Structure 1
Amino acid sequence: MQKSVLAQMLSGVLMLPALSAATVLAEDSLALGVEEMIITGVRDDRKSSGATGLDMGIYETPQSLTIIDSTVIDDFALSDINALLKMTTGINVDSTETDRTYYNARGFDITSMHIDGIGMPFGSLVVGDVDTALYEKVEVIRGSNGLITGLGNPSGTINYVRKRPTNEFTGSVKLTGGSWDNRRAELDVSTPLTSTGSWAARGVLVAQEKDSWLDHYNNERQLGYLVVDGQLTDDVTLAVGYSRQDNNSEGVLWGAVPVIYSNGEQADYDVATSTTMDWTYWDTLTDETFVELGWEINQNWRLTASAMHTDYEEHSEVFYIYWNEGLDADTGLGLLSYPGKFDDEKENLILDANLSGRFMAWGLEHQLQLGVSSADSDSQSYAHDALSGFVAMPAFPGWTGAEVERPIWDTPYQSAHQDIRLDRIYGSLLLAVSDNINLILGLNMVDYSNEGVSYGVPTDSQEDGSSPYIGFTWELADSLNLYASYSDIYQPQYVLGEDLQSLGSAEGKSYELGLKKSFANNALVTLALFRTEQSNLEEFKEYGDGDGIDDTDYSDDFDYSIYRGIDVESQGVELEVAGSITDQISVQAGYTYLELEDPNGDDARTFIPRNSAKLLLTWNPSAVPDLAMGVSTRWQDEVYFTSGYGRIAQDSYAVVGGYARYQVTDNFTLNVNLDNLTDDKYFSSVKYEQAYYAAPRSINVSASVSF
């Protein structure tokens, strides 16, 4: 399948010279004095509205904000969102399984993920690899997301900013190969469609296939993206886009490897160790369509309406390992099997319209945004009971993946259904109190409802309310901003409590105080003090059937995932440096210190590091202008999980990587990327009592041609 996709990509490249004629026509039209259309300026100035919904840069935003752009993504080979977020200040990536990942910031799971500034909380769990090839940049806003979501939690928001057409014809092909038989091909082409450049298109294609350091695991993914934007009238613009990502994994982990013995001793295995069977798979398919209509009312005001529709499918046959009395350290016995087959479907529709602009009052310029949005998410889940495959497993480790044959599956039944509706009215206002003081005010009014059932238990809930936001920036001296912000917010939770009733929402508050210093070379230093409070936050307790009896076999203890609500407070400090340090050196680096406690003052959520640091450094030596080199480093201190048999701990560790890029000709570039140079051995997560080892040392080589 990959060969056919790659062949299509290469055949497309052969057609590109014909497309460049549009660029020539555009240049000729401009030379003759044809008036440049508004859309050109819109493309050039396209940017996200960040944390407040207002037109503010990082320096003016009263929150911590990190932007990873496409140049950094390409240089450091951050081809999926997990790799990117691992290098983002204040973000922790918990890969609990090969194909399910959690992200957290400031002690809490990130539940809000937006595209081009619109979205709704889709939950804290991400399934499959999310490819970064179709994004121009990724913004990570730490702290409260109330203004841009209406609900969520005070951890932060990830905002993906799609690539859009450029004003001139451009294109590139990139081929990559490396460790574990990694093979990847990328094509990215943008071209004007009319002689004036008033209409343009951009397309992205990606095909990748790779094996893994883990036994039995491999992954294939294909990505296609097309967007067309243009000008309907002198004042009205239209953008229409479609993307499709197909992600297929085999030999997957559902759960992970038992890493503690029944005697309390922590196990130590080879990094390749897995508990999967060779018939397992986990496939996801995402189709996304968006339409964006913009009206430039005048030079100061713009009305934007957008719609985004997403169809998502997930299919899996998986294999879980559990125990009743634990894993025996001497014999390797005690593990039991639990196979599962699941099919999930989800359809999301998000509509948004907002008016934004600037106005003069009291001799100063101010900003205002007013908007309405409506989001609907309808999901269906189906389960297939296994009619075989429940056995006592042989001694572990040393499995071949053939110990349990693929089960016979029963007829599927609907295990869960959710219909979530979120309507909101929102607004934000920037008041210029003086030339150096800005006050930011915001309000969300939300009406939320959920009609659902999970394994026969209703999860219905309905809420309405408002979330206020207040912040200010005060330029104490030239390029030195003091800022502060506050917001309260709540997060609906679609889980069952200990009484097998809906756990209800978590409620939170977020406070941040900081300094931002901007330098002439565009470097920005941010120092932030933050405090976050959460009440009734979901915490996994156990699997069960609601009878409170620990059965001696698999029979019905896995009917439900049961959660309890906990109260947690976090506070800490973040320091980040981003931008050019010299003409040859640029950096994206940060350090986070975190305190995370329950109401008794005890450490909470101990799988999250209390100290972490990230570094992406690039050097372009003036003596060799065609050469660029970079270093990536991430470090975190000890984390642990307390199981029924004792503590599972991951000592502090650092992962060092880097790249070298050489511009062979004007259009041809070679890249070498290395990761985990010191070949450190560490767990990818200790969020639960099962874990697996992260990737050892790896190398990838890329060749890029631009045209």
Structure 2
Amino acid sequence: MPDFTITEKPRWSLDMCSQHSAVPRLYGQSEGTTRTVLGPAVAVAVLIGTQGAFAAESAQIQNKSGEASQEEIVLPVITVAGRMDTAITEGTDSYTTGETAAATRLSLSLEETPQAVTVITRQRMDDQQLNSVQSVLDNTTGVASYQSDSERTSFYSRGFLINNIQYDGIPTVVGDIVNGSGIGSVDTAFYDRVEVVRGGSGLLTGTGNPSAAINLVRKRPTRDFSAAASLGAGSWNTYRSMGDISTPLTEDGRIRTRLVGTYQDGHSYLDGYKPERKSFYGIIEADLTSDTMVSLGYDYQDITPQGSTWGGLPLWFSDGTQAEYSRSKNYAQDWSYWDNTLKTAFAEIEHRFDNGWKLRAVANQYRTDFDAELLGLVGQPDRATGLGFFPSGAYPVALASEGHSRQNTFDVMASGPFELLGRQHDLVVGATSSRRTASQDDIAPFYAGLVPVNVYELSPAFPRPDFDAMARIPTRTRIKQSGVYSAARFSLAEPLKLIVGGRFSNYEIDDVTGSSSLHYKKSSEFTPYAGLIYDIDKTYSAYVSYTGIFNPQTDYRDSRGNVLTPAKGKSTEIGLKGAYMDGRLNASVALFETRLDNAAQMAAGSYTPSGAQAYQGVDGTKSRGIELDLQGEVARGWNIYAGVAHFTAQDGDGVRLNSQLPRTTAQLFTTYQLPGDWRKLTLGGGVKWQSRFYKAPNTGTSSLGGEQSSYALVSLMGRYAITKQTGVAVNVNNAFDKKYALQKGDFDTVGYGAPRNVMVTLNYKY
């Protein structure tokens, strides 16, 4: 939060006609400078600070017709000191942010950050009803999702799996990233924004794929009382409620708290599937002094679906033709479930020094618990009867798994300006450590019966196997990481900035699966980072960046059950960025190339002792592409988000990498608040398009393959302000009811996306 001070004699304009604020806006303008808008809180401070300098007759300025107008008042010198956090998006009505530290821990504008960055703001999440992390990432440039079934969604960027997850900039592991459980179902009601930094992020995380880093930034308490609530109802008897209260606990607001809770329940377009999600978030902040703040918080997410699917329905008939199903078809039984519980406790202290430096220390504990009993169908049924005779036909396959994990993380960081050779520069230094223990017990997939299932009728129903009497394969994992990092932003010349940094990481893993064990340790692994930014003019900047890659692949196991050794490589990026309308609209274009050795790839037809897909390390993996991004306000009341991403990726043998991902994706969503008498109405809409994807025969989990052609999904929204505090919104997804596959060919099955659906939400804000 940069400090600001007004010391020169300004000419102030008092605007009593602000449509977006209950208090007047105060504009500061000195001779030869442009007009600067000060926020309402600062305006009030200035007004109070004049101690009556405003005459009573100027308190309410009206023209002869009685309507509000603007009038200039010359005041004496006024000094105003305060802090503005321009990164916060809540309450700004904006689709962009003023700054981010997600790439380097240095607080920079998007234009000053030498990497491709997308920020999904609170306003956009509310406009599109992006109530889960999956829905956010599904609407983010350069991110592709692969949804295996109702609970498992994996996210990719630039051809690589995203395994870098952060809360408020602190890395963590959420659920089972490889198998896609955990992060996608997390509710977004707790967050001010979601920041996605594409490319390598080893400077902050120490480890990870050169895909993207997802930073979930929590809401914070406000010094004044505020409250918000919403009730929503939609297709398939879906209901959602949310409550959000922030209040000072002392009269001066020095101690304050915020509580957020959500509940979502209902049915689904899938027969028998009933998702349910409960979540709670609480935080308390206290100003120990004017420069020192402490905060304590806890969040809890309980995800308890019934009728969870495992994979899709058989894609191929025994005669070699493809099957086609209604989107509602689901063989999961009423006893099928996949429960996930995510709990986080955190403590933070921050102190600001008079010289502009800041010291921040954070301690987090993440706990996860999951329990699953699942049933799926595999095989090739007879086209005429839907049945078949062994080995033909579709047969039920079951599995069960349960486990828990705990991760303790501590991070301390100092940042601030310094002078060298007559110029001011910025520096951040920090140290971090984490320890994660995980325990998992699996019943490997097994054929639950030898009676084929009729795929047309999806009968007969299958009773729950006696999982309690079956032997389980235990897995015990302990991972310790630590590191020191630093980054400096040097002002080489007025238009030229250099960011250099690096991280020394220590990594150790002990893993035991069944009768096999692994111990791996790596000390003082150095990950470099460099970025050069050139300000072409006040609007445009060009940049080039380089990031080293060190990715321990602890989520991937070979056919013996051993964890793969780390992948190493480098990522380079060049780009052009533009900031328009005083930073309210940001645009960027980026070209990138990534090279990676020992990258985990599926081993066709090979499985671990627990029955999971086996992987192998492959050298010479390469990915390159282009990304374009536009986010912000085109004109007053007109927000827009647009992006296009394309990449090509192949392994060392020239074979297409992760062919189950679309190579090209495009996003557009925009809203417009109508002017004049229609200003209570806001209309919006968007489209998502992606190119084809496929599973090649005899690769990974596919024997016959499958392909989904390119498709586009259209969404619409409308919002009406009933009063200043109350409004109603309508969201329509997949407006043209497009039928499309979420996955096609995984274990030779197919799963479909949701048909057209509607959500109506009543909102209240105080």
TM-score by length of 2: 0.83
Q: Deviation of residue 275 (structure 1)?
A: 2.7
The corresponding residue for 2:706 is 648
Preserved contact between residue 640 and residue 686 of structure 1 (Cα < 8 Å): yes
Instruction: Show the 5 A alignment for 1:274-289.
Output: 274-289=330-345
The corresponding residue for 2:563 is 502
Q: Deviation of residue 579 (structure 1)?
A: 1.2
Change (3 A) 1:159 1:385: closer
Preserved contact between residue 271 and residue 694 of structure 1 (Cα < 8 Å): yes
Of 298, 303, 306, which aligns to 1:250? 306
Matched residues in 1 for 2:528 and 2:195: separation? Answer: 22
Change (3 A) 1:540 1:359: same
The corresponding residue for 1:663 is 721
The corresponding residue for 1:103 is 155
Instruction: Show the 5 A alignment for 1:583-662.
Output: 583-623=636-676, 624-644=678-698, 645-662=703-720
Change (3 A) 1:336 1:400: closer
1:65 aligned onto 2:121: no
The corresponding residue for 2:297 is 241
The corresponding residue for 1:416 is 475
Matched residues in 1 for 2:216 and 2:631: separation? Answer: 19
Preserved contact between residue 660 and residue 671 of structure 1 (Cα < 8 Å): yes
Of 558, 571, 584, which aligns to 2:624? 571
The corresponding residue for 2:315 is 259
Partner letter of residue 730 of structure 2? V
Partner letter of residue 632 of structure 2? G
The corresponding residue for 1:530 is 592
Secondary structure, counterpart of 1:93 in structure 2: strand
Secondary structure, counterpart of 1:493 in structure 2: strand
1:204 aligned onto 2:260: yes
Matched residues in 2 for 1:562 and 1:84: separation? Answer: 30
Q: Deviation of residue 31 (structure 1)?
A: 6.9
Partner letter of residue 150 of structure 1? G
Q: Deviation of residue 418 (structure 1)?
A: 0.6
Q: Deviation of residue 485 (structure 1)?
A: 0.5
Q: Deviation of residue 126 (structure 1)?
A: 3.8
Of 109, 117, 126, which aligns to 1:74? 126
Q: Deviation of residue 40 (structure 1)?
A: 8.1
Matched residues in 1 for 2:716 and 2:684: separation? Answer: 5
Change (3 A) 1:335 1:503: same
The corresponding residue for 2:633 is 580
Unaligned runs of 5+ in 2: 1-43, 52-79, 89-98
Preserved contact between residue 202 and residue 547 of structure 2 (Cα < 8 Å): yes
Of 294, 304, 319, which aligns to 2:350? 294
Identity of aligned residues (%): 28
1:214 aligned onto 2:270: yes
Preserved contact between residue 239 and residue 291 of structure 1 (Cα < 8 Å): yes
Matched residues in 2 for 1:314 and 1:634: separation? Answer: 32
Matched residues in 1 for 2:244 and 2:444: separation? Answer: 44
Q: What are the superposed Cα offsets for residues 345-393 of structure 1, whole Å, 9 maximum, x if unpaired?
A: 1111110001111112222221101110001110101235799933333
Matched residues in 1 for 2:563 and 2:725: separation? Answer: 58
Q: What are the superposed Cα offsets for residues 126-168 of structure 1, whole Å, 9 maximum, x if unpaired?
A: 4251100000000000011111101101101000000001121
Of 533, 540, 546, which aligns to 1:480? 540
Matched residues in 1 for 2:191 and 2:228: separation? Answer: 15
Per chain length, whose mean CA-contact separation is higher, i.e. which structure has more relative contact order (CA < 8 Å, sep 6+)? 1
Instruction: Show the 5 A alignment for 1:323-472.
Output: 323=379, 326-332=380-386, 333=388, 334-384=393-443, 389-400=448-459, 402-410=461-469, 413=472, 415-464=474-523, 465-472=525-532
Secondary structure, counterpart of 2:761 in structure 1: strand
Q: Deviation of residue 403 (structure 1)?
A: 3.0
Q: What are the superposed Cα offsets for residues 168-209 of structure 1, whole Å, 9 maximum, x if unpaired?
A: 111011000010111010001111111111111111010110
Matched residues in 2 for 1:61 and 1:167: separation? Answer: 30
Q: Deviation of residue 500 (structure 1)?
A: 4.9
Matched residues in 2 for 1:329 and 1:535: separation? Answer: 44
Q: What are the superposed Cα offsets for residues 293-333 of structure 1, whole Å, 9 maximum, x if unpaired?
A: 1111224111100001111110111113334xx44334433
Matched residues in 2 for 1:418 and 1:63: separation? Answer: 34
The corresponding residue for 1:127 is 181
Q: Deviation of residue 701 (structure 1)?
A: 0.3
Q: What are the superposed Cα offsets for residues 386-432 of structure 1, whole Å, 9 maximum, x if unpaired?
A: 99933333221321572344435226645111101111111111111
Q: Deviation of residue 504 (structure 1)?
A: 1.2
Q: What are the superposed Cα offsets for residues 484-511 of structure 1, whole Å, 9 maximum, x if unpaired?
A: 1011112111232245543211223111
Partner letter of residue 372 of structure 1? A
Q: Deviation of residue 48 (structure 1)?
A: 4.6
1:540 aligned onto 2:602: yes
Partner letter of residue 336 of structure 2? T
Q: What's the Cα RMSD here?
A: 2.5
Matched residues in 2 for 1:408 and 1:73: separation? Answer: 41
Q: What are the superposed Cα offsets for residues 239-284 of structure 1, whole Å, 9 maximum, x if unpaired?
A: 1101111110111112222223344322211111223122111111
Preserved contact between residue 356 and residue 368 of structure 1 (Cα < 8 Å): yes
Secondary structure, counterpart of 2:135 in structure 1: helix
Change (3 A) 1:542 1:466: same
Unaligned runs of 5+ in 1: 1-26, 547-556
Q: What are the superposed Cα offsets for residues 434-489 of structure 1, whole Å, 9 maximum, x if unpaired?
A: 11110000101110011111233224322231100111100122211000101111
Partner letter of residue 597 of structure 2? S
Preserved contact between residue 395 and residue 447 of structure 2 (Cα < 8 Å): no
Matched residues in 1 for 2:229 and 2:670: separation? Answer: 25
Q: What are the superposed Cα offsets for residues 44-86 of structure 1, whole Å, 9 maximum, x if unpaired?
A: 7667512111111111000000001111101110001111111
Partner letter of residue 633 of structure 1? V
The corresponding residue for 2:738 is 680
Of 117, 124, 127, which aligns to 2:169? 117
Segment of structure 1 superposing worse, 396-405 or 422-431 = 396-405
